[in-house]
Amino acid sequence: MGDDPTGWQTTGTTDPVGPCGADPLCGIPPEEHEPTPKPDGLPSPLPGVYDDQGPAPLDNGFRSLMGFPNRQRALLEERVARIYDPDSPEFRKYLSVDEWMADHAPLGADVELVKAWLKSRNFTINFEAKNRLLIHFSGTVKDFNEAFATELHICMRKNPLHSGDPFPVYCTLDSFTLPKFVAERTNGLAAADLPAETGTLVKEVGEVHEDYPGDQAYGPPAFFGAYNMIPLFEQGYTGQGSAVGVVGAGTYHSIDLQIFWKSFGIERALPTRVNLMEPVFERVTETVLDTQWSTSLAPGADAYVYEGPDARNTALLFAWNEAIGDNKVDVLSTSFAHREDSEAKTLRHQYDESALMGAALGMTLLSASGDSANPDTPCSSPYVTCVGGTNLVASVDGEIESETAWSQSGSGQSKSFALPYWQMADVDSKTRSMCDLALSSSPENPMWMRRWTNWEHYGGTSFASPAFAGMVAVINSYRKAHGKPRVGYLNPIIYLHGPTRATFRDITEGATKYWPAGVGWDYPTGLGAPDVAALAEVIP
């Protein structure tokens, strides 16, 4: 039996036993109920991003996430560093989910205690993360304000996606408090949003057919050539034995997805949809393009789309966390990047808690760097490989004329995380700096996507991250065939292992309004553009 800070005795993840029976709250002394300041994951008004509309009606509903930290985090970070050190005897000895749960998951008794407190404040527990890092709960604004000693406001959020009107979200002007016993066991409130909308998913119509859109934009074959994937394809490595995952909001168009594949000569099976949280009722552009590009770049890989109900922080963070805890994919990509300075610190750090677990399990976690020339989240987590943007000028089959830094490539110095050890030789900064690498993203030389029976072309690092996810799946396919484990957390290897680092084509020209590209690592493009076939051979 293990000791619990409340004085209870616990048996693994089972309920506490003691004089209070099944009620864990009755054993908490009065001083542990004292209100304690605790940072939260809600945004504050920010001109041009979050515009305050005043207090939220008290009878409004909300949904929210309570976040928990990795247990023994410092030990886990040291363990992960050894797992990705080629000179360590622990190199690539990834943890199993069971090992992580036993050593580093939040204690089951702590989670039960926090759930009991939430229920005591009239909240409903709706969903629990498999890894115990998140609890999803809901209730009324009135109860929220009273429980957390704050006041929810409604802010109009500038839409971070390619197109779309501003939408309402919850924000706060005041700090939060939690009871001391809750504050000490959690990272605090990680996100809170208006209730998920409801509706009916419109049925798709039409037949799958070839419909090549033309040469006005790049399709996957341009990336096959420009980033040297063809030698692996010719050897039969197309992703088989690997699995690629996408964090989705809503779902994708399956008929348009198959037309996209067929039009570019790609044959593969449909992804597995993993429905999370509230029912999905819409098809979201970002999810459509992420699915099209990740699956096309690794036609032989299995694919999973982890679908939250919408593109709000509550759904996106939960989907990210569940995709990691599921541990069914080798590589996971999200392109729902938000400017780091527009998101609260607690939200940024909760993304990082999940990412640390993924690194320990041997997963490659990727995020689009964003399209604002500023740092984004979750890219800023050191356990996420941040994929920035270039302006690629090439033929439709990927014969390169030039490649320069894209002017809007999300990049810069993190506001959240200290400089990781693997960046110290490259960066004159005290904090994590982005990007780590970069691929074609510029709307001057855009990429195709298909939705609602129409071909459209865009730019954005939203294409770069899922494309690189497919590339990693192909690399893992090659490695598996050669008896090697999946590559996992890439950052220490691509920065510190000389032969791996040398496979990136340095992008030395172009700039954002803040940072220029140059020789060696730079902010807009990181280490440069990947040579996938070379990477597959030299990653240790």
First to last CA, the chain: 41
Q: How far apart are CA 77 and CA 216, in angstroms?
A: 46
Helix or strand (DSSP H, E) at 116: helix 108-120
Tokens representing residue 97 in the block: 């989910």
* Per-residue pLDDT of the chain in tens (540 residues, 90 and over written 9): 233 333 333 333 444 445 566 788 988 999 999 999 999 999 999 888 899 999 999 999 999 999 999 999 999 999 999 999 999 999 999 999 999 999 999 999 999 999 999 999 999 999 999 999 999 999 999 999 999 999 999 999 887 665 678 889 999 998 899 999 999 999 999 999 999 999 999 999 899 999 999 999 999 999 999 999 999 999 999 999 999 999 999 999 999 999 999 999 999 999 999 999 999 999 999 999 999 999 999 999 999 999 999 999 999 999 999 999 999 999 999 999 788 988 999 999 999 999 999 999 999 999 999 999 999 999 999 999 999 999 999 999 999 999 999 999 999 999 999 999 999 999 999 999 999 999 999 999 999 999 999 999 999 999 999 999 999 999 999 999 999 999 999 999 999 999 999 999 999 999 999 999 999 999 999 999 999 999 999 999
Buried b (16+ CB within 10 A) or exposed e, 331-359: bbbbbbbbbbebbbbbbbbbbbbbbbbbb
Residue 142 has φ and ψ, to the nearest 5°, of -55, -50
Contact by Cβ (8 Å): 379, 434: yes
Q: Bridge-partner residues for 138, per DSSP?
A: 63, 124
Tokens representing residue 330 in the block: 């080798």
Q: What is the CA radius of gyration of the chain?
A: 23
- Residue 245 φ/ψ region, left for φ over 0, alpha for ψ in the -120 to 50 degree band, beta for the rest: beta
Which alpha helices (H) appear in 310-455, and where do they start and end? 313-326, 345-361
User: Within 13 Å, how many C-alpha atoms sit on residue 311's CB side?
Assistant: 24
Could you count the other beta carbons within 10 Å of the beta carbon of residue 436?
27
Q: Is 31 exposed, middle or buried (0-12, 13-18, 19+ CB in 10 A)?
A: exposed
Contact by Cβ (8 Å): 383, 76: no
Q: How far apart are CA 200 and CA 209, in angstroms?
A: 26
Q: How far apart are CA 47 and CA 56, in angstroms?
A: 19
Tokens representing residue 239 in the block: 């992703």
Q: How far apart are CA 374 and CA 387, in angstroms?
A: 13
Residue 251 has φ and ψ, to the nearest 5°, of -135, -170
Q: What sign does the CA torsion over 411, 220, 505, 509 have?
A: negative
Residues 6+ apart with CB under 8 A from 482: none
Could you count the other beta carbons within 10 Å of the beta carbon of residue 369?
37
Beta strand 338-339 with 376-377: parallel, antiparallel or unpaired? antiparallel
